């Protein structure tokens, strides 16, 4: 069994925040892949289903971001899972918008949701880093991540979420390369190879003008003299 966790903050006030892209991702998986309706459990909301051959539990902690580990730890212990069975999807300010990266283990890089999960289950879980961009200055980060995505972000955001859903079975199976390919096919689909330039028909060659008769016209006297030759 796999536990796939999306990080965010509960409530309509935060629903479209950059910090909530993890919630958005598991919502899309649940909707597209036929999971059960969301129900309250483990200090969060859960949805159950299958991705390929794997039984999967989706979890949205509702403890607020800074205490996400409480919910994740409770669910992991209930199902007797190890950190290797846990995959966390979260916002990443150190990646440009629409960039997605996957890693197994590692530090929390100052992300408060990951910091809390580290404290409750350790660091050896997988995480999907979802780029949302950086505001430019460190002091602007809290307001930036707690602000809604701009309208200009809607297209790439939808592509990323669809790509995550497309590759969810590969993600659950641990095939991160195949998962990333699924995301890339949505975010940066290959250009068609049938884009040959149309043939341009050449204009028909112009006919050379007929040569003009340049001989001077004969005088009446010349014409008369020719009669007697």
Q: What is the span of the domain harbouring residue 31?
A: 2-187
Q: Using CA atoms, how far apart are residues 113 and 132, in angstroms rounded to an integer?
A: 16
Q: What pLDDT shows up at residue 206?
A: 56
pTM of the full predicted structure? 0.83
The answer as to whether 40 is a domain residue is yes
Mean pLDDT, residues 192-203 taken together: 55
The answer as to whether 201 is a domain residue is no
The answer as to whether 17 is a domain residue is yes
The answer as to whether 200 is a domain residue is no
| Spatial CB neighbours of 65, under 8 Å, sequence gap ≥ 6 | 7, 8, 9, 19, 112, 113, 116
Q: Using CA atoms, how far apart are residues 125 and 104, in angstroms rounded to an integer?
A: 6
pLDDT digits (tens, 9 = 90+) for 49-96: 999 999 999 999 999 999 999 999 999 999 999 999 999 999 999 999
- Write phi, then psi, for 173 (nearest 5 degrees): -80, -5
Please state the domain count of the chain: 1
Asked whether 87 and 125 are in contact (CB, 8 A), the reply is: yes
Q: What pLDDT shows up at residue 35?
A: 98
Q: Which residues are catalytic?
A: 19
The encoded tokens of residue 14 equal: 């935060």
Q: Using CA atoms, how far apart are residues 182 and 186, in angstroms rounded to an integer?
A: 7
Q: Using CA atoms, how far apart are residues 74 and 71, in angstroms rounded to an integer?
A: 5
Q: Using CA atoms, how far apart are residues 102 and 131, in angstroms rounded to an integer?
A: 11
The encoded tokens of residue 217 equal: 């016209």
Burial class of residue 4 in the structure, from the number of CB atoms within 10 Å of its CB (0-12 exposed, 13-18 middle, 19+ buried): buried
Residue 191's pLDDT band (cuts 50, 70, 90): confident
Q: What pLDDT shows up at residue 194?
A: 62
The answer as to whether 77 is a domain residue is yes
Report the CATH number at residue 162: 3.40.50.1470
The answer as to whether 38 is a domain residue is yes
Mean pLDDT, residues 31-39 taken together: 98
The answer as to whether 41 is a domain residue is yes
């Amino acid at each position: 069994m796999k536990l796939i966790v999306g990080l965010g903050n509960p409530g309509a006030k935060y629903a479209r925040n950059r910090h909530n892209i993890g919630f958005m991702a598991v919502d899309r998986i649940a909707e597209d892949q036929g999971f059960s309706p969301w129900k309250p459990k483990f200090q969060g909301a859960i949805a159950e289903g299958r991705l390929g051959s794997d039984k999967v539990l989706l979890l949205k902690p509702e403890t607020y971001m800074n205490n996400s580990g409480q919910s994740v730890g409770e669910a992991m212990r209930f199902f007797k899972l190890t950190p290797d069975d846990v995959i966390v999807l979260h916002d990443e300010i150190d990646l440009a918008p629409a960039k997605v990266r996957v890693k197994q283990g590692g530090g929390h890089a100052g992300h408060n949701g990951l910091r809390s999960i580290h404290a409750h289950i350790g660091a050896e879980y997988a995480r999907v880093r979802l780029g949302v961009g950086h505001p430019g200055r460190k002091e602007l980060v809290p307001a930036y991540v707690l602000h809604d995505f701009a309208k200009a972000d809607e297209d790439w955001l939808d592509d990323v979420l669809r790509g995550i859903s497309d590759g969810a079975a590969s993600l659950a199976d641990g095939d991160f390369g195949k998962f990333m390919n699924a995301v890339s096919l949505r975010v940066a689909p290959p250009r068609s190879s049938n884009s040959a330039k149309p043939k341009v028909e050449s204009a028909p060659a112009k006919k050379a003008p007929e040569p003009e008769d340049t001989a001077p016209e004969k005088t009446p006297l010349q014409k008369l003299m020719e009669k007697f030759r």
